[in-house]
Every structure is written in C-alpha cells, then in structure tokens.
Amino acid sequence: MRYLILLFLFSVYSFAQDPYYISVDKSNGLPSNNVYDIYQDSKQFVWFATSKGICKIDGTQIKHFHSDKLTTRSVSNLYEDKCGRIWHQDFNGNIYYIENDVIHPFIQAQANGFLRYGFINNKIFVATKNSINIYDSSTFELLKSVPTNLKDIKQTIVYQDHFYIIGKRIIGYNINGESHEIKLPKEHIYSNVAPLIVNYKDDLLIFSKYHSYYYKIKDRKISVHTSPIDSKFIQNIIAIDNHLWICSTNGVFKLNPQSNSYKHYYKGDNISCVLKTSNNKYWFSTLDEGTFLVNDIESVYIKTPHSPTKLLSQEDAIYFGNSKDEIVKIDAKYNLHTVYEGDSEHYIHTAYINPKDGILITGSSQLSINTKKRILKSPIAVKDIYRLDNKYYLISATTWSGVIYFDNSIKSSFDSVFNNLPHRQENGIHFLTIIDIEDGKSCAYNPVNQALYFVTNYGIKSYTSSETNVIQTPLGTNFNKIVVVKDNVFCIEDNEIVYHIDKNNHAKEFKFPNNFKNSGILKIRSYKDELYLIKENGIYCYNITTQKIAQILELPKNSEFIDITKRNNSYYVSLNEGIIISTVEQINPDKVHLYLSQILVNSQNVDQNKLTSLKYNENNIEVNFTIATQTLDNNYKLFYRINQNPWEPLNLSIQSIKLSSLAYGKHNLQIQLINGEQQINEDILINISYPFWLKWWFLLLVTSLLCTLVYMYFKYQIRIIHKKNKLTIEKIKLEKYLNQSKLKALKSQMNPHFFFNALNTLQSYILDNDKTNAIFYLSKFSKLTRTILEMSDKDYVNLSEEINTLTIYLDIEQSRFSDDFQYHIHIDPNLNPSELYIPSLLLQPHVENAIKHGLLHKEGQKRIGINFTDKQDYILVSIEDNGIGRKRSGELNAIKNQNHKSFATESLQQRIDLINMNLKKKITLQYIDKENSKGTIVLINIPKRKY
C-alpha cells in the first residue's frame, strides 16, 4: 500500500504582511474615496479633506460641511487655530475656515496657487501673487504686506516662529515681516523642482518628490543626506514621534532618519497622508480607496487565497484549514505553506493536527484521518473534534456523536469508561456511540469532573460515570457551541447569550465583570484560561484566572469572524478573507467627548448662559451637540432626562434634543454618555420666567377679584334659595288648597242630598218588594262609593276608570228619574283610554252640576251626553245637557237659598287653577249656554298624560 507522507509541502504562498486595518470609505459615509489630508483637532475630532469637500467623524456618522461660496470642492491643508477654527484650502489657493459648523471664506487674500498658509502666534501668513501678507488671526485685519518675488516658489512652511517660502530660494519671515534667506546648493536650484518639506524635531527637512536625497536645515545651515527610499513619486511627508512617514504612490514608508532604516507598508496603495491619533491609532488616507484605520500598527494581516476556517495552534507553528479542503501552515516569516490537500474541495469545519506524531484529522463533508502509514475515511459530516488523549477523540457529527479511535494498540485510561458503549468499525475507524439520531454541533471535555459534553439539536448532554445526563437549560434555548476553560463550562445559544453550566448540570446565564453586557455575543472560543467573546464590533477576552475582560481586536462590519487562537502571546484571528496576527493584550477604549454645538430658543441661536433668563414665551428649546470619537465603530450609549425623570435613550444618529412648550420655572436638562466605563454628564440649567398672569401681584389681584365674585355669587345663590323657599312654601300652600279642593269635590260627590236621594230610591224598591232592582241599585251604589273613595287618594286616574265611574254614577241617577232620563258616553276611536290619565275627581262634579241644576227642574225628557275627542296633545271632554240652563238654574237657587254658591263656579275652577300650576300644558274650562236656555255645554281640554 502506498502511504501518504503528512506535512509534505505542496506549495508556498508569499504575501505582503501589512498591519490590519478597517476601511473607512464612501460606504461608511465619506464623500469621496479621494482623500488628501487627515487632521485631529484639540477636541479629538478627526477631519478629512477630500476631492468632494471637508468632513469629520461625529459620533457614529461622518458629518459633511457644504458652502455655496466654495470655488471648488477639492480641499486640503487642514489646520486648527487657537480659536478652535478649522482652516483648509482649495486647489485654487482660496482659504476657508469653519466656525460653529459653518464654512466661511477668508476673503482678504488668495494664495499664490496651492501655497500653504501659516499661523505664528496670533498672526496669519499668506503667500499671495506678489507679496507675503500678515493678518491678525482674531480680526483678520491686514497688519503688513511684504512685497516678494514668488516666482519658482513651490512650498511654504512654519518653522521656528518663521514663515518660510521654498523653491529655488529659501526665505523666512518673522512675525514682523522681517526676512532672511538661506542659500541652497546650486544643484538644488536646477534639480529639486518639486520639494516636500517637513519639521522633524528641531530640523527642517526638504525632500524631493522625484529624488532620493534630501536637505537638512539646522541653525540656518544646510546639509545633504541620502534617503534609502526608492519611490517613483513621493506626495507627502509627515513627522510622527521619531519617524518620518513618507507617502507615495507605492504605499507608505516609515523612515528612521537616525538609522536610515525603514518599513514599507501597503505596497501598491496610493497613500496621501498619515495621522497618529491621541489614543495611538493610525489613519492612512489614500487617493482612491478612502482611508485605513489601524488600531495596532505592529499587527500583521495575511490575505489568504481561500477563506480560512479552523485555526490550530501547535508548538512549531499555526495551522489553519480553509474552504478548499486544505491545511495551511504559517511560518515565522508569515509565509503560507500548504501541508495537506483533500479531495473534496469542501469547507473544513474542524480539524486536529499533531505534526510530531504525524496525525491530521479533518472534518468537512467527510471524516478524514491521515497518519504516516495510512488514510482512513468515513462519509459523516463532522462539526467538531476534541482530542481526549493519544487514542480517543470526541466527535460531533450529523446524526451521531461519540468517541472514535483508529489505533487499537494504544492503551488509554478511558478504555474502561468506554467499554460498554455501542461499538462499530468502518474502514479502520472505531465508532463508540454516546448519542445517536441527533445532529451534533459541538463537543468538549472537562478533565476536573471527567465529563464529556455534547451539543445537539436536542440540547446539551453530558457523559460521565458511564451515564448520559441531560443538562437543564431554560425552555426554548437552542445552543450551538460549548467550550471548557479550566474547570468552567461555557455554552452559547442562538439568541447570542453565554451560559455557564454549574456542578448540578444546570445552564444559567453568566454574569461578566465590569458591567460587560452578556448580549449580542455571536460566537465563543477558548484557549487555556481565556474565553473569547466575539461581538459585531470586536473580540473580547475574558481571563478566568484574573476575572478581567478586555477588548483585544476591533472588527469591521464587512468582515466575518471565523476562529481565534493564541501562540507565543500573539493572537491569531481568521476572518473570511485572511488572518490577523496581533500582540495587543488590550485595545485602549476610545475616549468619547461630548460638546454642545448649538442651542436654539424658538428657532433662534442663543448662548447657553441666557437659558437661565428666558421669557415665558421662549419655551421651545432645541439642544444640538456633537460627539468626538476617533473611529466610527463605537459602543457608546446616549441618554437624556429633565428634572430627575427617568433616563430616556437617544438615537445616536440624531444629535439633538427638542423640548417643546416647556413649562414655566426652573429645569435641569441632563445628557449622559456611557462608553464602557467612561461616563459623561452634561447639565444644562433652564429657567423660564412666569408670565405676568402668574406673578404674585397678579395672582393676588385675581384672588381678590375671585373672592369678590364668590361673595357676590353666594349672595346671589342665597337670594335664589330664599326665592326657592318662598316658591316651596307657596307650592305647599297650593297643595293644601288642592287637597282642600279635592276634599270639596269628594264631599260634593258624596253629599248628603245625593245619599238621601239614593237611599230613598233604594227604599222605594224595597217597599215595592222589587228585590231585583233593589239589589242591582244597591250594588251600583256600593261600587260607586268604593270607587270614589279609592280615587280620592290619587292625583291622576286612568281615563277608562273615570269613564267607568261616570257610567255607574249616571246609572244610579237614571234610576231616580225613572224613564225620562237618558245619557250617552262617546269615546273617540283614536283614543286609548287604558293608556291615558287625567286628574282624579275632575269630570264627575261637572256631570253632577248638569243633573242637579240643569235637568232636575226640567219637565219632560232629560238627556245628558259626554264626548271624549282626540285633539293631538289634548283630550277634549264635552258635557252637554238639555236642562233649564245656567241662568234659570241660578234664579231658582237664589230663591231657594240666597246664600248658596255653586260648587262648579268656584271650587271647580279653583281646583283646575291649582292643577295647572304644575303643568306646562294647561287644563282649560269653558261653559257654553245654548240658545233659549235649552241647556248647557261644558268643554274641558285636558293635556294627555301617559304612564
């Protein structure tokens, strides 16, 4: 059999090893990828001068500045003066400054081409077409204009309190405009047509864009030096610390002038400027790719031909798998050597390598075991491999998890532990099943309690003492990775939260130190006593021994983290396009600064100190602020509150707080910025004066007026109460009169004369032995009496009851008159007597008067008719008789009894008047005398009333 020799070098790849950087370009908000200059001001804002204008990092965004007064959008030469204004210059020589976030043109002068302006103390120096102009930097007043021949002048610079112009001549001007000239070598006059100048320590260095030599000016003396940099075109030189950063079309060179040695970074990139920030980060601007942000200038980034996957740390080197089923070695010079090529060209999920023993195990679409003697394969998709000892390996695979071994000759302490496990052999590989018919995701081993852990699609399970146990996890959690750090077992769920498995096999959410939030953690990895936590913005290291947590790497948003390991105090991180190597143990967190930029009151700009004396109608307040950060990927949070109310979160991209219709009085607006352990609080005191109608004197006046009005009101109410009491008393009197009237009506109906006549009639029937009529008459009489007594207790009675009572009464009276008395009662069909009510004892007295005074004295046939007619809202009751009439009846009553007063004329009308006092629609009573005294008609209009 032909054996494979492991670690045979199939191929070697060599790549440039540049520091790892995060790209900030148009996709992040830069107006252009053509960046000429970078600058950090005293407030820690990072500014960019581009081909499409000037901008700065403001919080999590890039803020652009625009002006219609710009003659061209391409700008460079950034500088901050002592007043905090940011100056810049377009390529036509026009000078501008930014104050309060507004671009202003410096209209006093135009530079001669792209000659740079200069600041010395409180003076501005500008090389114009024919002179050197000196201005006051506060008032912009022209202090002095020094006529100068600026022909062949290529550069200007401020050096040792002098403004130098450099070309074929070098002339320096002090703050008073006095000049001196430094002689140049003759060869410079003819050859150095494109000088580049830089302040380096106490020296002024003059480089050439096209040549390798440079001049050093010290104490106004010139010496010539040779640069080791061989570049076809140098476009900028920046002095940082003890080095010169030479920017060229072929990358940037870090030159040490003392040793004349250099490092070459970003070969092939067109670098225009370099900035080292206050927190030791580096920005590199390019003319075609935006900017590069480098957190660790000593880091190394290896761009790999295929996406790296699993990282393997060994004593001799770092190995990694890739997406082409290969294992690659990184040597000491960061060259890549392919040591294994699989035949599947599939993504390697996991691997184990031991170059010393010549063992390589890879897990991709299949399990592949390579030794010095043979190759073993099995068609299972392996997700994770963990080496237990020289013999056994833990495996998590699709539909299966357990232990494998392939060398039966090796003895192991686990032999007795695994003896009872189900066993099968395939192609020389021995499979010991612990979990079957479940998709394995991850596996680990804790040597302290000798427990094997497996993560499957059905949860987390442990195997110890020949038993499989289920780890108790919160309901609904779905885990995907498990690691062991010392004797601590950590696992992560799909909801991006890390859990810790305790000794009782319970998974509980882990609490990290330093208020580190256990959320948004995408992946976890481990190495010895370190737990690595991967978030969107970077990688954090939690040291189990020291109980400390620190960020070790920032990650760009467009990169995908794959794996991390450590070797010789260097971190190795595989991303989707390459591998980062860094020795930084902790990235210094960016200090964030909060500044109030503008305060508007009713849309008008005001100073902050005026907020304590606002008028009552100046209560619409807008507070705008800026946030100085040195990178875009920040984790700070913003909150605000007013008057000790609960904190409210602020949108990081909306750097403004609007307070509409703020109440009168004193307020304390607080803005809070939290950036890790850094906390910034900004207090803004606001005092809105009360309007005059809320001032004490006005309130006193209003109170007095109100008291007067209340007094007058109560006095008025007392009068009303007196009036109501008077009306109540009158009402009581009326009710008394009404009751008296009802009593009189009752008495009229039950008067002795009526009873005497009724009893006489009854007696006549008895004497005549007319038992039938006597019993009928007695029944009628008793029923009438009972009905009248019942109706006397009611104010209103049913119309049908009133008609029934009238019928009984008329039947009794008819018996008295024998056959010469007739009556009829007619009811309008539109009326429903059972639903209508009328005042009690109202109709019968009128019927009685008609009989007693009209029909009693009439000879011959006697008739009385009662009609009930529907009149919309009224019931018209007419009582018509054919008696002797009211006039003749009155005469007879007067003869018979001079003191007699008819009940109908007084009591009946008085009772109707009393009833009408409580009615909106009134009862009316009308008497109509027929012609020739042939009877009387009584018309009574009664308002309808329903119950």
Is pLDDT above 70 for 782?
A: yes
Percent of the chain past pLDDT 70, that is, above it, reads: 93
- Residues 823, 664: Cα–Cα separation, whole Å: 87
Give the list of residues 6+ apart from residue 929 with CB closer than 8 angstroms, or none.
885, 886, 887, 936
The answer to whether 860 and 884 have CB atoms below 8 angstroms apart is no
Is pLDDT above 70 for 623?
A: yes
pLDDT band at 189 (very low <50, low <70, confident <90, very high): low
Least trusted range by pLDDT, from 241-255, 636-650, 765-779: 765-779
Helices (H) and strands (E) in the chain, counts: 9, 73
* Model pLDDT, residue 188: 62
pLDDT band at 241 (very low <50, low <70, confident <90, very high): very high
* Model pLDDT, residue 740: 59
* Model pLDDT, residue 4: 40
Percent of the chain past pLDDT 90, that is, above it, reads: 55
Mean pLDDT of all residues in the chain?
A: 87
Backbone angles phi and psi of 314, in degrees to 5? -125, 170
pLDDT band at 232 (very low <50, low <70, confident <90, very high): confident
Is pLDDT above 90 for 694?
A: no
The arithmetic mean of pLDDT across residues 923-944, rounded, is 88
pLDDT tens-digit map of 727-763: 888 777 766 666 655 555 544 544 555 566 667 666 7
The arithmetic mean of pLDDT across residues 411-417, rounded, is 93
pLDDT band at 5 (very low <50, low <70, confident <90, very high): very low
pLDDT band at 7 (very low <50, low <70, confident <90, very high): very low
Least trusted range by pLDDT, from 136-140, 380-384, 481-485, 771-775: 771-775
CA atoms within 13 A on the CB side of 870: 9
pLDDT band at 876 (very low <50, low <70, confident <90, very high): very high
pLDDT band at 787 (very low <50, low <70, confident <90, very high): confident
The answer to whether 274 and 265 have CB atoms below 8 angstroms apart is no
pLDDT band at 571 (very low <50, low <70, confident <90, very high): very high
pLDDT tens-digit map of 334-372: 999 999 998 888 889 899 999 988 899 999 888 999 998
Is pLDDT above 50 for 567?
A: yes
* Model pLDDT, residue 741: 59
The arithmetic mean of pLDDT across residues 574-600, rounded, is 89
pLDDT tens-digit map of 886-918: 877 777 777 766 555 444 556 677 778 777 877
Tokens standing for residue 656: 């403004």
Can you give the length of the chain in residues? 947
The arithmetic mean of pLDDT across residues 169-187, rounded, is 87
Per DSSP, which regions of 410-497 are E strands? 423-426, 429-436, 440-446, 451-456, 459-464, 467-470, 479-485, 488-493
899 compared with 402, residue with greater pLDDT = 402
* Model pLDDT, residue 847: 86
* Model pLDDT, residue 373: 86
* Model pLDDT, residue 191: 57
* Model pLDDT, residue 737: 65
Strand partners, 824: 865
782 compared with 323, residue with greater pLDDT = 323
pLDDT band at 883 (very low <50, low <70, confident <90, very high): confident
* Model pLDDT, residue 747: 47
